[in-house]
């Protein structure tokens, strides 16, 4: 017997050593213009019986501290179906300390504060939310399915429930035309949400997406290499955090950054702008080493 995975399984870098438990197939939203991870995949919630079979299988593997619920948005699972999954994990994985999941803003907003607190008590300790941008027009253009206010409310709702919040933003998603508006508004939304973790990724135009069609038609032009860094520098400089670990060490990025904010803010801003001023591409990740 083995774990029953369907399709491509995606997880955050920080969940590299977690047990990956697939509770849904695909993404409940699946409309973002830059993403093709689940294109052509019909979204469905797995039956509890097949999920529990995987949990029981995993219970024989030995020491497991972390579990990540796949696929794109396990939080969309209705509470009456999600609670038994977490209860089974808690019951069968003896050393379990943390459960994590991706979530989109719409699925978060559908949960009541009491439901989120119930999930936290059952072990849901971290939620990963793709914010991408704080620019209202861009949120609409990339089809995130929520506006600025809803995105802020979703992020704050997770934090208010006592669940750790990790968000991602996308450098370059505004193209050259909206580069600085994107950076400034993203700094604004990050300040309002005040997440525990921020991961800045650099947009990569993937064939088969609406964004790629825009790119090929000439309607979307990417910033140049140092243009991406100017966005990163602006976001770091203009964001205010209570206590946040900010990174840009994803493989898509040109300049890896890891810094605890606000304590390392000035040092990080200086680093980014010194690299920009140098115009030395040897300080950056080579193009051939970048990836999704």
Q: Band of the pLDDT at 81, cuts 50, 70, 90?
A: very high
- Whether the link from the prior residue into 147 is cis, omega within 30° of 0, is no
The whole-number pLDDT of residue 254 equals 87
Over residues 26-59, the pLDDT tens digits come to 999 999 999 988 888 899 999 999 999 999 999 9
Question: Is residue 247 a part of any domain in this protein?
Answer: yes
Question: Is residue 235 a part of any domain in this protein?
Answer: yes
Q: Are 127 and 159 in contact (CB under 8 A)?
A: no
Structure tokens at 120: 């936290």
Q: Are 254 and 283 in contact (CB under 8 A)?
A: no
Per-residue pLDDT at 253 exceeds 90: no
Per-residue pLDDT at 182 exceeds 90: yes
Per-residue pLDDT at 1 exceeds 80: no
The answer to which of 8-17, 111-120, 219-228, 280-289 has the lowest mean pLDDT is 280-289
Question: Is residue 273 a part of any domain in this protein?
Answer: yes
Q: How far apart are CA 24 and CA 47, in angstroms?
A: 9
Question: Is residue 6 a part of any domain in this protein?
Answer: no
Q: Mean pLDDT score of the chain, rounded to an integer?
A: 94
Q: Count the domains in the chain.
A: 1
The whole-number pLDDT of residue 287 equals 76
CATH for 45: 3.20.20.70
Question: Is residue 104 a part of any domain in this protein?
Answer: yes
Question: Is residue 70 a part of any domain in this protein?
Answer: yes
Its domain, for residue 239, covers 13-289
What CA dihedral angle connects 252, 253, 259 and 261, to 10 degrees? Answer: -90
The whole-number pLDDT of residue 292 equals 66
Question: Is residue 2 a part of any domain in this protein?
Answer: no
Q: How far apart are CA 74 and CA 107, in angstroms?
A: 9
Q: Band of the pLDDT at 18, cuts 50, 70, 90?
A: very high
pTM: 0.95
**Which residues, including other chains, have CB under 8 Å from residue 31's CB and lie 6 or more apart?**
143, 145
Per-residue pLDDT at 148 exceeds 90: yes
Per-residue pLDDT at 210 exceeds 90: yes
Question: Is residue 136 a part of any domain in this protein?
Answer: yes
């Amino acid at each position: 017997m083995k774990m029953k995975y369907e399709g491509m399984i995606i997880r955050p870098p920080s969940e590299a050593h977690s047990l990956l438990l697939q509770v849904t197939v695909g993404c409940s939203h699946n409309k973002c213009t830059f993403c093709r991870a689940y294109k052509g995949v019909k979204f469905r919630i797995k039956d509890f019986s097949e999920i529990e079979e995987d949990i029981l299988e995993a219970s024989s593997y030995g020491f497991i501290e972390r579990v990540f619920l796949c696929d794109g948005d396990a939080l969309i699972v209705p509470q009456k179906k999600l609670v038994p999954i977490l209860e089974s994990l808690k019951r069968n994985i003896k050393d379990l300390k943390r459960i994590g999941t991706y979530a989109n803003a719409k699925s978060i907003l559908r949960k009541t504060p009491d439901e989120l607190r119930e999930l936290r008590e059952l072990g849901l300790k971290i939620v990963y939310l793709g914010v991408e941008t704080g620019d209202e027009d861009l949120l609409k253009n990339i089809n995130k399915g929520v506006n600025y206010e809803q995105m802020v409310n979703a992020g704050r709702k997770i934090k208010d429930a006592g669940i750790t919040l990790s968000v991602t933003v996308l450098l370059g998603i505004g193209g050259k035309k909206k580069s600085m508006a994107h950076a400034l508004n993203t700094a604004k939304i990050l300040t309002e949400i005040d997440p525990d973790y921020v991961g800045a990724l650099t947009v990569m135009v993937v064939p088969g997406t609406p964004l790629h069609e825009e790119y090929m038609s000439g309607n979307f032009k990417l910033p140049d290499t140092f243009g991406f860094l100017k966005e990163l520098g602006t976001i770091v400089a203009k964001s205010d955090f209570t206590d946040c670990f900010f990174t840009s060490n994803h493989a898509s990025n040109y300049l890896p950054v890891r810094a605890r904010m606000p304590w390392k803010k000035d040092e990080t801003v200086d680093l980014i702008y010194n690299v920009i001023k140098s115009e030395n591409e040897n300080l950056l990740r080579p193009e051939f080493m970048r990836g999704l």
